[in-house]
């Protein structure tokens, strides 16, 4: 009986350790990339988001990734697709493409603001939110390396969708920093 228990424990331990190695391998796979190109996000038809939200979010993402790049040296180049700098990426560089789709675009509302004012500390939470689905694609092979959904909201006095988008760009930069192992 004891032998079966030890065998079961070893099996479970082996399974846990084996799968944790896979998770670490999937997380740290951006180390070889030298440049990143951010494409405009797609805005689905029928979405409450304006058509310009995709372009605006791409610019915010580039800004935040560049900001994190200054401290952590993540990439040699961070550019937005279609810009002048995107044509200047030298050949031989391993390029990562980030594309995405707007999933949620909720402007602030007075009703939610009033409702949250009755919750202790609720006045510090925002009512605007933004969510996007991102895909990290290897430019050379066209293969999707990683996908993630990032949802952010505004805070306190910065209760605007633009601020929620800024925070979404920062969440994307933090995800990239983590995946680069910095």
Output the pLDDT for position 181.
Answer: 83
| pLDDT score of 91 | 82
Length of the chain: 182
Q: What is the DSSP letter of 51?
A: T
The distance from CA 16 to its chain's CA centroid, rounded to whole angstroms, is 27
- Rounded to two decimals, the pTM is 0.76
**pLDDT at 96 (0 to 100):** 94
State the pLDDT at residue 20: 41
Strand partners, 158: 155
Q: Rounded CA gap, 37 and 89, in Å?
A: 10
Tens-place pLDDT, residues 39-79? 999 999 988 889 999 999 999 999 999 999 998 899 999 99
Q: How far apart are the first and last CA of the chain?
A: 47
Output DSSP code: residue 42.
B
- Look up residue 41 and give its two tokens: 């996000």
Residue 174 has pLDDT above 90, yes or no: yes
Q: What is the pLDDT of residue 13?
A: 54
Q: Which residues fall within 8 angstroms of residue 90, CB to CB, at 6 or more apart?
A: none
The pair of three-digit structure tokens given for residue 161, joined into one six-digit string: 């969708």
Token pair, residue 19, equals: 């799968």
């Amino acid at each position: 009986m004891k032998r079966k228990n030890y065998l079961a424990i070893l099996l479970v331990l082996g399974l846990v350790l084996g799968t944790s190695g896979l998770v670490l391998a999937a997380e740290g796979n951006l180390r070889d990339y030298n440049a990143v190109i951010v494409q405009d996000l797609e805005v689905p038809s029928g979405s409450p988001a304006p058509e310009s939200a995709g372009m605006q979010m791409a610019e915010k993402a580039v800004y935040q990734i560049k900001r994190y790049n200054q401290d952590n040296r993540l990439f040699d180049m961070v550019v937005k697709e279609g810009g002048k700098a995107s044509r200047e990426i030298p050949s031989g560089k391993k390029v990562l493409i980030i594309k995405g789709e707007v999933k949620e675009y909720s402007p602030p509302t007075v009703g939610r603001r009033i409702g949250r004012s009755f919750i202790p500390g609720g006045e510090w939470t925002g009512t605007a939110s933004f969510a996007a689905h991102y895909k990290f694609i290897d430019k050379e092979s066209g293969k999707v390396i990683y996908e993630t959904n990032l949802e952010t909201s505004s805070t306190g006095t910065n209760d605007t969708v633009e601020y929620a988008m800024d925070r979404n760009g920062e969440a994307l930069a933090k995800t990239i920093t983590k995946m680069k192992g910095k």
